[in-house]
Amino acid sequence: MREIIMPYAIRMTLGTATRLAGLCFAVTLLSPVAHGQALQDLAVEQQGLGERPTPGTWGVVLGAGIADRPEYPGSSQYKVRPVPLIAIRYGDRITAGPLGLGVAVVDWQGLRLGPLLGFERGRRESLDPHLIGLGDISTSITGGAFISYRIGRFDFYATAREAINNSGSGLDGLVQLNYRQALVPRKLFLTLGPDLEFGNKEHEQTWFGVTPTQSLQSGLPAFSAEGGVNTVGVHAHLTYVASEHVILRGFINFKDLVGQAADSPVVERGTAHAVGLGVAYHF
């Protein structure tokens, strides 16, 4: 039986934590996405890139791919862009990826939870003529928590993250359920399931609201957004273990904006998909 080890995060060296946090920030900075929801898409796409390493050892997956996805949530314009495929683990305790650096201070019988430090890119109004007059949304360092629970072929995962240096960006989060199945033992793996995203009032107003001033500048009607679930969707990915070190990944996500996000004048198209493929090296 696993033990609950609360002081583990304290025992991790500051140098290791700093390097991992820097790598997480580099991943999000280099990633061609413009919103926390897109970062959460990457998290969905990259889950299961590598099996959890033996306790006390590192597992690293580094790679890249391409994906066709909207320019921003609610955009009618799609663009093929490069995406990183990166997953770093230290046993079951430390994880690093698109959502940031997470440390499981609780790891007990399939339940893991702990703090999460990350980075969320903003949105530039120059991305699309439809955004002109709305202004830019600043990038943010985020802090929050994650929780996951695995039982058999199912696992539940959720995050909640608050912008630290840009309070106007508010809090957003992700909830998902995954079903995992080996189609070919030790070679081909399928993961699929539903997911949803949410935000508080500040977050929803920042991304989907239109203030009276923005309305005058953009020509869009003023719109006040409230907090709640803003996106529901399904995701699936196939992972092919080509060799001891090489992993191939294909993924697809379908999403619908719901609630007040779907009614926002910022939104041109309420349904969206992201599809892509990539290759990574596991060591």
More confident residue, 16 or 146: 146
User: Cα–chain-centroid distance for residue 114?
Assistant: 16
- Whether 94 maps to a domain, the answer reads yes
Determine contact, residues 137/73, Cβ cutoff 8 Å: no
Nearest-angstrom CA–CA distance, 226 and 198? 11
Residue 142 has pLDDT above 50, yes or no: yes
For the stretch 226-262, pLDDT in tens is 999 999 999 999 999 999 899 999 999 999 999 999 9
Please report where in the chains the tokens 């530039």 appear, as a residue: 124
Determine contact, residues 221/244, Cβ cutoff 8 Å: no
Residue 4 has pLDDT above 80, yes or no: no
Residue 18 has pLDDT above 50, yes or no: no
Determine contact, residues 35/123, Cβ cutoff 8 Å: yes
- Whether 148 maps to a domain, the answer reads yes
Nearest-angstrom CA–CA distance, 24 and 184? 32
- Region 113-124 average pLDDT: 91
Question: Band of the pLDDT at 167, cuts 50, 70, 90?
Answer: confident
Residue 22: strand, helix, or coil: helix
Question: Band of the pLDDT at 168, cuts 50, 70, 90?
Answer: confident
- Whether 255 maps to a domain, the answer reads no
pLDDT at 87: 85
Q: Which domain holds residue 23?
A: 8-60+84-230
Question: Band of the pLDDT at 1, cuts 50, 70, 90?
Answer: very low
Q: How many domains does the chain have?
A: 1
β strands within the chain, DSSP E: 58-70, 78-90, 94-97, 100-103, 106-108, 111-120, 140-151, 154-163, 171-184, 188-199, 228-241, 246-257, 271-282
DSSP-derived pairing of the beta strands 106-108 and 94-97: unpaired
- Whether 283 maps to a domain, the answer reads no
- Whether 198 maps to a domain, the answer reads yes
Residue 262: strand, helix, or coil: helix
Concatenate the DSSP letters of all residues of 78-138 into one string.
EEEEEEEEEEEEETTTEEEETTEEEE-SEEETTEEEEEEEEEE--B-GGG-GGGTTS--B-
For the chain, what is the mean pLDDT? 83
pLDDT at 51: 57
- Region 110-137 average pLDDT: 93
Q: Evaluate if pTM is beyond 0.85.
A: no
- Region 143-169 average pLDDT: 92
DSSP code of residue 167: G
Residue 38 has pLDDT above 90, yes or no: no
Residue 21 has pLDDT above 60, yes or no: no
Radius of gyration of the chain (CA): 19
DSSP H or E segment with residue 23: helix 14-30
More confident residue, 188 or 92: 188
Nearest-angstrom CA–CA distance, 205 and 32? 23
Determine contact, residues 125/133, Cβ cutoff 8 Å: yes
- Region 111-139 average pLDDT: 93
Backbone angles phi, psi at 149, to 5 degrees: -145, 125
- Whether 65 maps to a domain, the answer reads no
Nearest-angstrom CA–CA distance, 212 and 265? 13
Residue 90 has pLDDT above 80, yes or no: yes
Point out the least confidently predicted range of 97-106, 173-182, 215-224: 97-106
- Whether 256 maps to a domain, the answer reads no
DSSP-derived pairing of the beta strands 271-282 and 58-70: antiparallel
- Whether 215 maps to a domain, the answer reads yes
Residue 117 has pLDDT above 50, yes or no: yes
